[in-house]
């Protein structure tokens, strides 16, 4: 299983949140791999554990109430869950960087853009002030911000949403990380800016050949950017495969439902498909397959047995024994 060519390998990760007498199993046995230079998407609806998985990779889960109950996160062969806080701080930003969902609140309002981009570099490297300035300007230019010299002295409130997200990406790029985790970076932006940011991420990734873990609930974005896709539902990965397999030949009823819910040209004027029911409360998940109450293909065994991953060839896996063939 431990493939040396994987940059990041998450194996059977379990993160639970404890409330007074309930345990919310936010992430319940998630495994996926990211190879160098690859874009992997984590898709799923709100509350299915996408963000928690991403934060756990960086060990940023607030504890309490969050608890990592098991599993391994191998980064270049080192288990990040075994590292202590000081070693972890050297990984963050330097090897794995993160871009957050809300560019409006993810920048500190009291510092200039230049300060915030430079901070990551000053923490991880010894750099002269002049050199630091040059690198910040270059980073801003890389992410497509006009007249970067002037922007360095600006405060976050003087920039637009799209520019702030570009700044966030510049901050993530500052130390040339091997992996960028992008947690719904385009959700708070409007569609044209979204396309720009996606193209930016793609071009940067190709230029610097870094890996991207892209978290989103937007299948349109996935189709645009992903090499491989992991579909999550209620804390487990229900289907994984490369983008073509997932979109052309979905093997899990949830993925099928999501794809059917996309508006398309051929279905113009008709009602959109929707999956009946709602996501289960992570504290009270149904026994057996977590999707069975909403699933139109469900059979008796779905109610009792948690489904294993079924292989469909060429790295395409899905957690549904019913749609096996």
Q: Which residues bind other proteins (CB under 8 A)?
A: 55, 58, 60, 64, 84, 89-94, 97-98, 100-102, 105-111, 119-120, 123-124, 146-147, 150, 155, 157-160, 163, 168, 171, 174
Question: Looking at beta carbons only, is 119 or 218 nearer to other proteins?
Answer: 119
Q: How far apart are CB 11 and other proteins at their closest, in Å? A: 18
Q: How far apart are CB 126 and other proteins at their closest, in Å? A: 15
Beta carbons within 10 angstroms of residue 286's beta carbon:
15
Question: Looking at beta carbons only, is 4 or 86 nearer to other proteins?
Answer: 86
User: Distance between CA 247 and CA 148 in Å, rounded?
Assistant: 40
206 contacts 37 by C-beta, under 8 angstroms? no
Question: Looking at beta carbons only, is 137 or 168 nearer to other proteins?
Answer: 168
Gyration radius of the chain's alpha carbons? 21
Q: How far apart are CB 123 and other proteins at their closest, in Å? A: 6
User: Distance between CA 255 and CA 257 in Å, rounded?
Assistant: 5
Question: Looking at beta carbons only, is 111 or 247 nearer to other proteins?
Answer: 111
Q: How far apart are CB 305 and other proteins at their closest, in Å? A: 32
Q: How far apart are CB 94 and other proteins at their closest, in Å? A: 6
Q: How far apart are CB 108 and other proteins at their closest, in Å? A: 4
User: Distance between CA 218 and CA 236 in Å, rounded?
Assistant: 18
Strand order, beta sheet including 228-233? 96-99, 179-183, 211-216, 39-43, 228-233, 236-242, 317-318, 310-311
Question: Looking at beta carbons only, is 183 or 227 nearer to other proteins?
Answer: 183
Task: Supply the DSSP string of 275-300, one letter for each residue.
Answer: -SS-PPPTTSPPSSSTTGGG-TT--G
Q: How far apart are CB 62 and other proteins at their closest, in Å? A: 8
177 contacts 209 by C-beta, under 8 angstroms? no
Beta bridge partners of 92: 96
User: Distance between CA 217 and CA 215 in Å, rounded?
Assistant: 7
Question: Looking at beta carbons only, is 27 or 179 nearer to other proteins?
Answer: 179
Question: Looking at beta carbons only, is 95 or 319 nearer to other proteins?
Answer: 95
């Amino acid at each position: 299983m431990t493939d040396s060519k994987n940059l990041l390998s998450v194996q059977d990760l379990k993160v639970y949140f404890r409330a007074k007498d309930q345990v919310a199993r936010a992430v319940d046995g998630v495994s996926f791999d990211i190879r160098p230079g690859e874009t992997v998407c984590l898709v799923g609806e709100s509350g299915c554990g996408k963000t928690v998985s991403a934060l756990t990779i960086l060990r940023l889960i607030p504890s309490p109430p969050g608890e990592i109950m098991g599993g391994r996160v191998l980064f270049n062969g080192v288990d990040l869950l075994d590292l202590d806080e000081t070693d972890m701080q050297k990984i963050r930003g330097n090897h794995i960087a993160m871009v957050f969902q809300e560019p409006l609140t993810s920048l500190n309002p009291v510092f200039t853009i230049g300060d915030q981009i430079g901070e990551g570099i000053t923490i991880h490297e010894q750099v002269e002030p002049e050199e630091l300035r040059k690198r910040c300007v270059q980073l801003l230019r890389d992410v497509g911000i006009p007249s970067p010299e002037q922007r360095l002295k600006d405060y976050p409130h003087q920039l637009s949403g799209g520019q702030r997200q570009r700044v966030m990406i510049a901050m993530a790029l500052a130390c040339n990380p091997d992996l960028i985790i992008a947690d719904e970076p385009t959700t708070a932006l409007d569609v044209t800016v979204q396309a720009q940011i996606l193209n930016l991420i793609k071009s940067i990734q190709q230029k610097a050949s870094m890996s991207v873990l892209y978290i989103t609930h937007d299948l349109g974005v996935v189709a645009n950017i992903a090499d491989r896709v992991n579909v999550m539902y209620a804390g487990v990965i229900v289907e994984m495969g490369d983008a073509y397999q997932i979109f052309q030949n979905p093997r899990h009823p949830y993925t099928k439902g999501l794809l059917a819910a996309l508006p398309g040209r051929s279905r113009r004027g008709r009602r959109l498909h929707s999956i009946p029911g709602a996501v289960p409360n992570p504290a009270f998940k149904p026994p057996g397959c977590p999707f069975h109450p909403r699933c139109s293909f469900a059979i008796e065994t779905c109610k009792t047995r948690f489904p294993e991953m079924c292989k469909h060839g060429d790295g395409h896996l899905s957690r549904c024994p019913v749609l096996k063939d």
